[in-house]
Amino acid sequence: MAFLNYRTEGKTGVIAISRPPANALSTEVLQELADLLTAAERDPNVRVLVIHGEGRFFSAGADIKEFTSVRTGAQFSEMSRRGQELFERMERFPKPIIAAIHGAALGGGLELAMACHIRVVSETAKLGLPELQLGIIPGFAGTQRLPKYVGAERALVMMLTSEPISGKEAAERGLAAFCFPEEKLLEETMKLAKKIEKKSPQSIKAVIELANFAKTGQFYEGMKKEAELFGQIAETGDAKEGIQAFLEKREPNFTGE
């Protein structure tokens, strides 16, 4: 890979954005990410993904230089749709994706992080959507996801002023699940991933699907779907293993069967 470094630790795949100085999300970076998602989805030994940035930033946003080669509004709209489709794929990915955020996660960088299932931030991280400073707007679903996490009014303030919030404030407002000192960020994120990777892959996939469905606000339809998936999961070998392990007071060995 040219801009993404990939490694595995146990059953966790770790993606490091490495495009100094700002880890800008160029077309090539996003294509590499799409390819890695495909590979990780097909790999039965990978149960969790962690995404972080190398150097000073998580990602300071899209590669603005690419905008100078786009000539028409239709081309910009197509660029937006491609990014939206990739990030929607991440949101619906059957394996948990955790973003470990330090430094700046701005513009497209924050939109990438918001497409992950879980965000872990450093206390001094800066998260924001400053596109209005450039006379444009967020284009990778930032206007739609940010209000879900911080509320419509706070999201408007963040976008209209272009002012970021700190990692600590992001955790307080629900934009991030955990906040740590920067020197402990990746270590703590990996601890979280290790806890998750021990769970049954089929149960993980079902919970992600149900959590995404809950965002639609269709509560009673969600309950029906939960009951349906509960029945399907209960018939799996992993469910039988989990129950037996509990009765025998031992750790379960989930195989995805």
Task: Give the rounded distance of the alpha carbon of 245 from its chain centre.
Answer: 31
Domains and CATH numbers, the chain: 4-184 (3.90.226.10)
Which residue of the set 32, 111, 169, 197 is catalytic? 111
Q: What is residue 202's predicted lDDT score, i.e. its pLDDT? A: 94
Please indicate whether residue 188 is annotated as part of the active site: no
**Known catalytic membership, residue 221:** no
140-191 pLDDT tens trace: 999 999 999 999 999 999 999 999 999 999 999 999 999 999 999 999 999 9
**Which of the residues 91, 131, 169, 197 is marked catalytic?**
131
Q: What is the pLDDT, as a whole number, of residue 126?
A: 98
> 106 CB contacts (<8 Å, ≥6 apart)?
59, 60, 61, 126, 127, 128, 129, 130, 164
Beta strands in 18-147 (DSSP E): 48-53, 97-101, 104-106, 118-122, 126-128
Helix axes 237-247 and 201-214, enclosed angle (nearest 10) = 110
pLDDT tens, 90-99?
A: 999 999 999 9
Between CA 199 and CA 47 the distance in angstroms is 9
pLDDT the model gives residue 70: 81
Cβ-contact 108, 61 below 8 angstroms: yes
Q: pLDDT by residue (tens digit) across 99-124?
A: 999 999 999 999 999 999 999 999 99
Residue 152 is predicted with a pLDDT of: 96
Strands laid side by side in the 97-101 sheet: 4-9, 12-17, 48-53, 97-101, 118-122, 178-180
At residue 180, the pLDDT reads: 98
For residue 1, is pLDDT > 70? no
Q: Is the pLDDT of residue 135 over 80?
A: yes
Work out the pLDDT band at 214, boundaries 50, 70, 90.
very high
Rounded Cα distance between 138 and 109, Å, is 11
For 141, the 3-state DSSP assignment is coil
Give percent of the chain with pLDDT exceeding 90.
Answer: 92
